[in-house]
Amino acid sequence: MWKFESKPLQSFLEAELSAGNKIESGGPCEWGSLKYIAMLRDPFRTRAWEGVTALTFRELNDPHYWKSEVEDALVGEMVTCGFAFDQTGRIILEPSA
């Protein structure tokens, strides 16, 4: 099982996995202050970050990176999500969850 140091981020990840999202890739990284990242296949299916002061949600909508991210900057860990696609294979750019 995937384990973050951040308990709030771990709870968010578990909510996403329980809602049917899947981890596509991730692991340790050295990108600025970021130490660990988990990349989910689909757009976020929950809003489990809401009301959790330790977590920051950002909507990027950048196909070069990912759709959205939830970060615990205090420990340098992040969960990102991929995009939804329409029937023609084009990315759907719309707000998460």
- Considering just the CA atoms, what is the radius of gyration of the chain in Å? 13
Q: What residue numbers bound the domain in which 65 lies?
A: 7-92
- CA 39, 16, 83, 1 torsion: positive or negative? positive
Would 88 be classed as within a structural domain? yes
Would 24 be classed as within a structural domain? yes
Which residue positions in the chain have pLDDT lower than 50?
none
CB 16 within 8 A of CB 44: yes
pLDDT digit string, tens, across residues 66-80:
999 999 999 999 999
Would 81 be classed as within a structural domain? yes
CB 75 within 8 A of CB 10: no
Number of domains in the chain: 1
- CA distance to 4, 20, 46, 48, 77, per residue, from 15 (Å): 14, 9, 7, 7, 16
Would 1 be classed as within a structural domain? no
Its pTM stands at 0.87
Would 97 be classed as within a structural domain? no
